Amino acid sequence: MKAGTDLAQIGSLVGDPARANMLAALMGGTALTASELALEAGVALPTASAHLAKLSDGGLVSVARQGRHRYYALADHRVAAMLENIMGVAATLGPKRVLPGPRDKAMRDARVCYDHLAGEMGVAMLDSFVGRGLIRVDGERAEMSSAGASYFAGLGIDLDTMGRKRRPVCRTCLDWSVRRSHLAGGLGAAMLECILTRGWARREKDSRVIRFTPMGRREFEMMLRG
Amino acid sequence: MKAGTDLAQIGSLVGDPARANMLAALMGGTALTASELALEAGVALPTASAHLAKLSDGGLVSVARQGRHRYYALADHRVAAMLENIMGVAATLGPKRVLPGPRDKAMRDARVCYDHLAGEMGVAMLDSFVGRGLIRVDGERAEMSSAGASYFAGLGIDLDTMGRKRRPVCRTCLDWSVRRSHLAGGLGAAMLECILTRGWARREKDSRVIRFTPMGRREFEMMLRG
DNA sequence: TTCATACTTCGATCATAAGCAAACTATCTT
DNA sequence: AAGATAGTTTGCTTATGATCGAAGTATGAA
């Protein structure tokens, strides 16, 4: 009975189309203002405001006031993982999903999940790190080996400051399209940033898709081979 | 936008209190009739019937007609895993969770998740199997080593017929109370059955709690030590 | 100061869907 | 055959909550 109440509370938050669209938009990882989310959800500003208040009260999103703006973001990597999970179930359950279009294909290949790389390439990346002994995985938790520490430092990632933050360095997150884990946590975010700043790939506008350049893909694959 | 629609569809199914209670009850793993679920959810039979039709249409539960009864169950281990995941988020988000009562404590210790063992003891079991090289884990998937095959056969588990079923033998499932993985899949179900038939533990009535006898707990821990 | 922007709160409307009683169908019992 | 039990369907009531316009608050710009 108590368990059911908990379920229902979260479910009803996610269950409204406008709120679901907002959450889906926030899965892109960038914080968005109330107006942007209203547009995204296709509702008027007052309506969006009410929805965002509920999401915020419910703990699914966080707010950061900045001047006259209010930036909303997913509260937590766990919330992001939960949404990915639900999407995954929806994908397998969906009435009969028509053959995946090109947009879908790109999403499966590489996309942003909250703030790290997901999709086939994200899964391949974690696989490589694990295979080379740089990271050890244990359920949702994961940890870096000493070999990993020197390797990631060599990529120019600042592990010291990362280690001091509250956020765990290594996490895994279940990928809904591949149904396997990809790398999340501070390191996952840093790796995505690394990929983007090196120009291997760039984010597609208004979507979660990450497009690798042909060159970038080659570089990325070389990195995975070690 | 499309992603949002998917989310909303599942969310709204889970978001109704009556339906959420039904789903929570079904997390116990045993199939239940419409009347039982009506009672569980605290609604009249016609209401329950309507809810179950929605859950069934939505693909979250499956129905099996048996004479004049209709047995409802969760459609899938994935649905079960999704619900566990949502409960986990609810637990961390919950307004201010009062200190966990004894019932909660028992749930955290050992409970049924769909049809396998979850909670601290479930996680400990998988840990032990992995540590002893009986099972290798890779994200949600997992596989048995040859050492594992002979070990589990030695416990009296019929791996041959299990291998022939559609259901994967080894799976992992994220545990909401421990936030780590426990063993699911056909093997997970078989292990739970093994624990129950040996009298090491028994299911508590009308709940997901599994109570180990003092003796059973010793035996179980001995098994984990190998 | 005055205006504009970003957002919230209020108030009213409206639609959806949750709820149940009563009637109906199907299966089992005797 | 005549109950009895399990469940669905129908029809109706009711309540919740999603929606937006209008007015209010807070911040920034001129």
Question: What is the tally of structural domains in chain A?
Answer: 2
Q: Which of A25, A42, A75 is the last residue of a domain?
A: A75
Please check whether residues B116 and B159 belong to one and the same domain. yes
More confident residue, A92 or B86: B86
- At residue A174 the predicted structure's pLDDT band, cuts being 50, 70 and 90, is confident
C-beta of residue A55 within 8 angstroms of C-beta of residue B43:
no
Domain stop point among B13, B47, B75: B75
Higher-pLDDT residue of A166 and B147 is B147
Question: Are B66 and B93 part of one and the same domain?
Answer: no
Is A146 found in the same domain as A122?
A: yes
- What is the pLDDT, as a whole number, of residue B170? 92
pLDDT digits over B10-64, tens only? 999 999 999 999 999 999 888 999 999 999 999 999 999 999 999 999 999 999 9
Number of H helices, E strands in chain A: 11, 11
Classified as helix, coil or strand, A11 is: helix
**What are all long-range contacts of A49-54, with beta carbons under 8 Å and residues at least 24 apart?**
A51/A16, A51/A18, A51/A19, A51/A22, A52/A22, A54/A13, A54/A19
CA atoms within 13 A on the CB side of B43: 20
SS3 content of chain B, % helix, strand, coil (to 5): 55, 20, 25
Same domain, yes or no: A71 and A135: no
β-sheet bridge partners, residue A184: A171
How many angstroms separate the CA atoms of B7 and A16, rounded?
Answer: 9
Q: Round and report the angstrom distance from CA (B215) to C1' (C16).
A: 55
For residue A148, what pLDDT band results from cuts at 50, 70 and 90? very high
CB A37 within 8 A of CB A27: no
Write down the pLDDT at residue B94. 64
Task: Quote ipTM for the complex.
Answer: 0.84
In contact, A118 and A173? CB cutoff 8 Å: yes
Short-list B159, B73, B175, CA closest to B124: B175
Query: Which one of B15, B50, B75 terminates a domain?
Result: B75
Q: What is the DSSP code string of B117-156?
A: EESHHHHHHHHHHHHTTSEEEETTEEEE-HHHHHHHHHTT
Q: For residue A19, what pLDDT is reported? A: 98
Residues A31 and A135 in one domain: no
How many angstroms separate the CA of A68 from the C1' of C4?
12
- The number of beta carbons lying within 10 Å of the beta carbon of residue B225 is 7
pLDDT-derived band at A80, boundaries 50, 70, 90: very high
Per residue in B183-198, pLDDT (tens digit) is 999 999 999 999 999 9
Residues of A (44-83) placing their beta carbon closer than 7 angstroms to any atom of strand C are 45-46, 48-50, 52-53, 68-70
Torsion of CA B42, B85, B192, B70, to 10 degrees: 40
Q: Per-residue confidence at A1, pLDDT binned at 50, 70, 90?
A: low
Q: Positive or negative CA dihedral for B77, B79, B81, B87?
A: negative
**pLDDT bucket at B99, cuts 50 / 70 / 90:** low
Looking at the predicted structure, is the pLDDT value of residue A194 above 60? yes
Residue A98 has pLDDT above 60, yes or no: no
Judge whether residue B95 has pLDDT over 80: no
Question: Out of A24, A82, A138, whose CB is closest to B85?
Answer: A82
Q: What percent of chain A has pLDDT over 90?
A: 69
Please, which pLDDT band fits residue A181 given cuts at 50, 70 and 90?
A: confident
Residue A37's domain is classified under what CATH number?
1.10.10.10
pLDDT digits (tens, 9 = 90+) for B134-162: 999 877 788 999 999 999 999 999 999 99
Are A97 and A207 found together in one domain? yes
Residue B91 sits at the chain A interface (C-beta within 8 Å): yes
- Residues of the domain holding A33: 2-75
**Is the same domain home to A45 and A88?**
no
Residues found in chain B: 226
For A128-139, what is the mean pLDDT?
89
Cβ distance B11 to A179 less than 8 Å, yes or no, reads no
Are A63 and A165 in a shared domain? no
Half-sphere exposure of B13 (CA within 13 A, CB side): 24
Q: Which pLDDT belongs to residue B207?
A: 86
In the prediction, which pLDDT does A150 show?
Answer: 96
By the CB < 8 Å criterion, does A177 face chain B? no
User: Which amino acid type is present at position A151?
Assistant: Y
- Enumerate residues 6+ apart whose C-beta is below 8 A from B182: B113, B116, B117, B118, B119, B122, B123, B125, B126, B172, B173, B175, B188
| pLDDT at residue A51 is higher than 60 | yes
What is the rounded CA–CA span in Å between residue B48 and residue B39? Answer: 9
Cβ-proximal residues to B150 (8 Å cutoff; 6+ apart), any chain: none
Residues 23-42 of A with CB under 7 A from strand C: 33-35
CA B74/CA B93 separation, integer angstroms: 25
List the single residue in A13, A93, A140 with the smallest CB-CB distance to B59. A93
B71 touches strand C (CB under 7 A): no
Q: How confident is the model at residue B105 (pLDDT cuts 50, 70, 90)?
A: confident
**In this structure, are B146 and B70 located in the same domain?**
no
Do B143 and B218 fall into the same domain? yes
Give the mean pLDDT of chain B.
91
Residue in B212, B192, B217 with CA at minimum distance from that of residue B201: B212
**CA dist B92 → A6, A141, B197 (Å):** 11, 16, 34
- Confirm whether any atom of chain C, the nucleic acid strand, is less than 7 Å from CB of B54: yes
What the block records as the tokens of B67 is: 């004479």
**pLDDT on residue B1:** 59
Residues 44-83 of A with CB under 8 A from B: 58-60, 75-76, 78-79, 81-83
B14 and B108 co-located in one domain: no
Are B93 and B190 within one domain? yes
